[in-house]
Amino acid sequence: MRRLVDLSVLVENSPSEPMQIRVDRLDHFEGAKQFSGEVAARNSAKTPPDPRRLQPEDFPDSAFLTLDTVTLPTHMGTHIDAPIHYGPNSEGSPARSVDELPLEWFFGDGVRLDLRHKGPGDFITVEDIKTALQETDHQLKPLDIVLIWTGTDKLWGKREYFSHAPGMSREATDWLAAQGIKVMGIDTYSFDRPFVTMLEDFWRTGDHNNLWPAHFYGREREYIQIERLANLDKLPDTGFQVSCFPLRIKGLDASWIRAVGLVEK
Protein backbone atom coordinates (compact mmCIF):
# COMPACT_ATOMS: atom_id res chain seq x y z
CA MET A 1 0.00 0.00 0.00
CA ARG A 2 1.12 3.55 -0.74
CA ARG A 3 0.24 6.87 0.85
CA LEU A 4 0.00 9.79 -1.58
CA VAL A 5 1.36 13.15 -0.42
CA ASP A 6 0.41 16.25 -2.40
CA LEU A 7 3.61 18.26 -2.83
CA SER A 8 2.04 21.14 -4.77
CA VAL A 9 0.81 24.56 -3.72
CA LEU A 10 -2.64 25.68 -4.81
CA VAL A 11 -2.56 27.77 -7.97
CA GLU A 12 -4.34 30.90 -6.82
CA ASN A 13 -3.96 34.65 -6.64
CA SER A 14 -2.16 35.16 -3.37
CA PRO A 15 -0.02 37.70 -1.49
CA SER A 16 2.76 35.10 -1.88
CA GLU A 17 2.55 35.19 -5.66
CA PRO A 18 3.23 38.38 -7.68
CA MET A 19 2.05 36.66 -10.86
CA GLN A 20 -1.67 36.32 -11.47
CA ILE A 21 -4.07 33.70 -12.75
CA ARG A 22 -7.21 34.67 -14.65
CA VAL A 23 -10.10 32.27 -15.20
CA ASP A 24 -12.92 33.17 -17.60
CA ARG A 25 -15.84 30.75 -17.37
CA LEU A 26 -18.52 30.20 -19.96
CA ASP A 27 -21.26 29.04 -17.60
CA HIS A 28 -23.90 26.35 -18.12
CA PHE A 29 -26.66 28.67 -19.36
CA GLU A 30 -24.57 30.94 -21.59
CA GLY A 31 -22.88 27.80 -22.88
CA ALA A 32 -26.24 26.37 -23.92
CA LYS A 33 -27.04 29.56 -25.86
CA GLN A 34 -23.61 29.79 -27.47
CA PHE A 35 -23.41 26.16 -28.55
CA SER A 36 -26.95 26.23 -29.94
CA GLY A 37 -26.05 29.35 -31.91
CA GLU A 38 -22.89 27.73 -33.28
CA VAL A 39 -24.87 24.69 -34.46
CA ALA A 40 -27.39 26.97 -36.15
CA ALA A 41 -24.63 28.94 -37.90
CA ARG A 42 -22.87 25.80 -39.16
CA ASN A 43 -26.09 24.27 -40.44
CA SER A 44 -27.12 27.50 -42.16
CA ALA A 45 -23.77 27.65 -43.97
CA LYS A 46 -24.20 24.20 -45.53
CA THR A 47 -25.19 23.77 -49.16
CA PRO A 48 -28.09 23.27 -49.19
CA PRO A 49 -28.78 24.81 -45.74
CA ASP A 50 -29.64 22.33 -43.01
CA PRO A 51 -32.87 23.45 -41.30
CA ARG A 52 -32.25 21.44 -38.14
CA ARG A 53 -31.63 23.42 -34.98
CA LEU A 54 -30.63 22.85 -31.37
CA GLN A 55 -32.30 24.95 -28.66
CA PRO A 56 -30.98 25.69 -25.16
CA GLU A 57 -34.04 24.01 -23.68
CA ASP A 58 -33.02 20.77 -25.39
CA PHE A 59 -30.41 20.37 -22.62
CA PRO A 60 -31.42 19.27 -19.11
CA ASP A 61 -32.54 22.41 -17.21
CA SER A 62 -31.43 24.43 -20.28
CA ALA A 63 -27.88 23.99 -19.00
CA PHE A 64 -24.99 22.85 -21.20
CA LEU A 65 -21.35 22.22 -20.16
CA THR A 66 -19.03 24.84 -18.71
CA LEU A 67 -15.82 25.92 -20.43
CA ASP A 68 -13.01 27.60 -18.50
CA THR A 69 -10.32 29.62 -20.28
CA VAL A 70 -7.27 29.95 -18.03
CA THR A 71 -4.51 32.52 -18.46
CA LEU A 72 -1.45 32.15 -16.23
CA PRO A 73 2.35 32.29 -16.53
CA THR A 74 4.23 29.01 -16.87
CA HIS A 75 6.13 29.84 -13.66
CA MET A 76 3.08 30.22 -11.43
CA GLY A 77 2.33 27.57 -8.83
CA THR A 78 4.38 24.39 -8.43
CA HIS A 79 6.27 23.95 -11.69
CA ILE A 80 9.44 22.73 -13.34
CA ASP A 81 11.93 24.96 -15.15
CA ALA A 82 13.20 23.58 -18.45
CA PRO A 83 16.78 24.21 -19.65
CA ILE A 84 15.60 26.81 -22.18
CA HIS A 85 14.50 28.96 -19.22
CA TYR A 86 18.10 29.33 -18.06
CA GLY A 87 19.52 30.47 -21.39
CA PRO A 88 19.58 29.76 -25.14
CA ASN A 89 22.16 26.97 -24.79
CA SER A 90 22.94 24.21 -22.32
CA GLU A 91 26.07 22.05 -22.42
CA GLY A 92 27.01 23.65 -25.74
CA SER A 93 23.77 22.74 -27.53
CA PRO A 94 20.43 24.52 -27.99
CA ALA A 95 18.64 24.34 -24.66
CA ARG A 96 15.67 22.00 -24.56
CA SER A 97 12.07 22.96 -23.88
CA VAL A 98 9.58 21.08 -21.70
CA ASP A 99 8.26 18.83 -24.48
CA GLU A 100 11.78 17.66 -25.36
CA LEU A 101 12.68 16.29 -21.91
CA PRO A 102 12.75 12.54 -21.11
CA LEU A 103 9.79 11.27 -19.10
CA GLU A 104 12.17 9.07 -17.10
CA TRP A 105 13.49 12.13 -15.30
CA PHE A 106 10.14 12.91 -13.68
CA PHE A 107 9.37 9.72 -11.80
CA GLY A 108 11.89 8.19 -9.47
CA ASP A 109 13.18 7.57 -5.99
CA GLY A 110 13.12 10.64 -3.80
CA VAL A 111 15.33 11.90 -1.01
CA ARG A 112 14.42 14.78 1.28
CA LEU A 113 17.25 16.94 2.60
CA ASP A 114 16.50 18.89 5.78
CA LEU A 115 17.81 22.45 5.38
CA ARG A 116 15.34 24.10 7.74
CA HIS A 117 18.16 25.65 9.74
CA LYS A 118 19.08 27.95 6.85
CA GLY A 119 17.82 31.49 7.32
CA PRO A 120 16.25 34.00 4.93
CA GLY A 121 18.76 35.11 2.32
CA ASP A 122 21.25 32.34 3.14
CA PHE A 123 23.03 30.34 0.48
CA ILE A 124 22.60 26.57 0.72
CA THR A 125 26.16 25.32 0.30
CA VAL A 126 27.79 22.07 -0.79
CA GLU A 127 28.62 21.34 2.85
CA ASP A 128 24.97 21.89 3.80
CA ILE A 129 23.89 19.38 1.16
CA LYS A 130 26.49 16.79 2.16
CA THR A 131 25.63 17.09 5.88
CA ALA A 132 21.89 16.76 5.23
CA LEU A 133 22.52 13.79 2.97
CA GLN A 134 24.61 12.05 5.64
CA GLU A 135 21.74 12.43 8.08
CA THR A 136 19.43 10.53 5.70
CA ASP A 137 21.87 7.62 5.40
CA HIS A 138 21.06 7.61 1.68
CA GLN A 139 23.55 7.03 -1.13
CA LEU A 140 22.61 9.21 -4.10
CA LYS A 141 22.32 7.54 -7.47
CA PRO A 142 21.68 9.02 -10.92
CA LEU A 143 18.08 10.15 -11.52
CA ASP A 144 17.17 10.30 -7.83
CA ILE A 145 14.84 13.27 -7.29
CA VAL A 146 16.27 15.49 -4.55
CA LEU A 147 13.87 17.68 -2.53
CA ILE A 148 15.29 20.59 -0.52
CA TRP A 149 13.21 21.07 2.66
CA THR A 150 13.40 24.61 4.08
CA GLY A 151 9.92 24.88 5.62
CA THR A 152 9.21 28.06 3.66
CA ASP A 153 5.95 26.61 2.32
CA LYS A 154 4.41 27.31 5.73
CA LEU A 155 4.53 31.01 4.78
CA TRP A 156 2.28 30.41 1.75
CA GLY A 157 -0.48 33.00 1.71
CA LYS A 158 1.76 35.71 3.19
CA ARG A 159 3.95 38.29 1.47
CA GLU A 160 6.95 36.93 3.37
CA TYR A 161 6.84 33.73 1.29
CA PHE A 162 8.26 35.71 -1.63
CA SER A 163 11.11 37.34 0.30
CA HIS A 164 12.00 35.26 3.39
CA ALA A 165 13.78 32.11 2.19
CA PRO A 166 17.23 30.65 1.61
CA GLY A 167 18.31 29.58 -1.87
CA MET A 168 20.64 27.18 -3.59
CA SER A 169 24.17 28.25 -4.41
CA ARG A 170 25.73 27.56 -7.78
CA GLU A 171 28.23 25.22 -6.11
CA ALA A 172 25.56 23.15 -4.35
CA THR A 173 23.57 22.87 -7.57
CA ASP A 174 26.71 21.80 -9.42
CA TRP A 175 27.52 19.17 -6.78
CA LEU A 176 24.08 17.56 -7.05
CA ALA A 177 24.16 17.63 -10.85
CA ALA A 178 27.59 15.97 -10.79
CA GLN A 179 26.03 13.05 -8.89
CA GLY A 180 23.69 12.43 -11.85
CA ILE A 181 20.71 14.29 -10.36
CA LYS A 182 18.56 15.69 -13.14
CA VAL A 183 15.58 16.89 -11.10
CA MET A 184 15.98 18.82 -7.85
CA GLY A 185 13.24 20.75 -6.11
CA ILE A 186 12.71 23.21 -3.29
CA ASP A 187 9.77 24.44 -1.21
CA THR A 188 10.48 28.14 -1.83
CA TYR A 189 9.39 30.66 -4.44
CA SER A 190 12.61 30.28 -6.41
CA PHE A 191 15.51 27.84 -6.52
CA ASP A 192 17.80 30.82 -6.03
CA ARG A 193 17.65 33.19 -3.10
CA PRO A 194 14.83 35.78 -3.05
CA PHE A 195 14.96 38.39 -5.80
CA VAL A 196 15.40 41.32 -3.43
CA THR A 197 18.33 39.60 -1.68
CA MET A 198 20.17 38.91 -4.92
CA LEU A 199 19.64 42.44 -6.19
CA GLU A 200 20.78 44.07 -2.95
CA ASP A 201 23.95 41.95 -2.93
CA PHE A 202 24.63 42.79 -6.57
CA TRP A 203 24.14 46.52 -6.05
CA ARG A 204 26.33 46.43 -2.92
CA THR A 205 29.21 44.48 -4.46
CA GLY A 206 28.86 44.87 -8.22
CA ASP A 207 29.40 41.10 -8.48
CA HIS A 208 27.25 39.64 -11.25
CA ASN A 209 27.62 36.18 -9.70
CA ASN A 210 25.01 37.21 -7.14
CA LEU A 211 22.32 37.21 -9.85
CA TRP A 212 20.47 33.89 -10.24
CA PRO A 213 23.60 31.70 -9.91
CA ALA A 214 21.70 28.39 -9.65
CA HIS A 215 19.51 29.21 -12.65
CA PHE A 216 22.40 30.33 -14.84
CA TYR A 217 24.34 27.18 -13.91
CA GLY A 218 21.80 25.36 -16.13
CA ARG A 219 23.65 26.80 -19.12
CA GLU A 220 26.67 24.70 -18.17
CA ARG A 221 24.94 21.46 -17.22
CA GLU A 222 21.41 20.38 -18.09
CA TYR A 223 19.20 19.96 -15.05
CA ILE A 224 15.63 20.65 -13.94
CA GLN A 225 14.34 22.67 -10.99
CA ILE A 226 11.05 22.19 -9.22
CA GLU A 227 9.97 25.40 -7.53
CA ARG A 228 7.23 26.00 -4.94
CA LEU A 229 6.92 22.52 -3.50
CA ALA A 230 4.82 22.03 -0.37
CA ASN A 231 4.24 19.53 2.44
CA LEU A 232 7.75 18.13 2.49
CA ASP A 233 7.23 17.73 6.25
CA LYS A 234 4.82 14.88 5.42
CA LEU A 235 7.55 12.83 3.72
CA PRO A 236 10.21 10.60 5.27
CA ASP A 237 13.83 11.33 4.39
CA THR A 238 13.96 8.34 2.04
CA GLY A 239 11.86 5.35 1.00
CA PHE A 240 9.45 7.24 -1.24
CA GLN A 241 9.04 8.02 -4.91
CA VAL A 242 8.23 11.31 -6.62
CA SER A 243 5.96 11.89 -9.60
CA CYS A 244 6.32 15.34 -11.20
CA PHE A 245 5.45 15.02 -14.89
CA PRO A 246 5.24 18.24 -16.94
CA LEU A 247 2.56 18.96 -19.53
CA ARG A 248 3.56 18.23 -23.10
CA ILE A 249 3.18 21.69 -24.61
CA LYS A 250 5.51 22.50 -27.48
CA GLY A 251 8.33 24.94 -26.85
CA LEU A 252 7.54 25.97 -23.27
CA ASP A 253 10.27 27.16 -20.88
CA ALA A 254 8.42 25.70 -17.87
CA SER A 255 5.38 23.62 -17.01
CA TRP A 256 2.91 23.37 -14.19
CA ILE A 257 3.05 20.01 -12.40
CA ARG A 258 1.07 18.18 -9.75
CA ALA A 259 4.02 16.93 -7.71
CA VAL A 260 3.13 13.89 -5.62
CA GLY A 261 5.12 11.83 -3.15
CA LEU A 262 4.37 8.08 -3.06
CA VAL A 263 5.23 6.73 0.37
CA GLU A 264 5.22 3.05 1.26
CA LYS A 265 2.94 2.53 4.29
Q: What is the DSSP string of 185-203?
A: EESSS-SSS-HHHHHHHHH
pTM above 0.85, yes or no: yes
Structure confidence by residue, pLDDT tens digits, 55-111: 999 999 999 999 999 999 999 999 999 999 999 999 999 999 999 999 999 999 999
Of 85, 73, 77, 125, nearest to 223 by C-alpha is 85
- Residues 36-51: what's their mean pLDDT? 93
Q: Where are the domains of the chain?
A: 2-16+74-264, 22-70
User: Is the Cα dihedral 86, 90, 95, 96 positive or negative?
Assistant: negative
pLDDT of residue 172: 98
- State how far the alpha carbon of 252 is from the alpha carbons of 75, 93, 107, 133, in Å: 10, 17, 20, 33
pLDDT of residue 1: 81
pLDDT of residue 182: 98
- State how far the alpha carbon of 152 is from the alpha carbons of 38, 46, 47, 182, in Å: 49, 60, 63, 23
Strands of the chain, DSSP E: 2-6, 22-26, 67-71, 79-81, 89-90, 93-94, 107-114, 123-124, 145-149, 167-168, 183-186, 224-227, 240-243, 254-256, 260-264
CATH number assigned to the domain covering 2-16+74-264: 3.50.30.50
pLDDT of residue 265: 78
pLDDT of residue 217: 98
Helices 126-136 and 170-178: crossing angle in degrees, nearest 10, is: 50
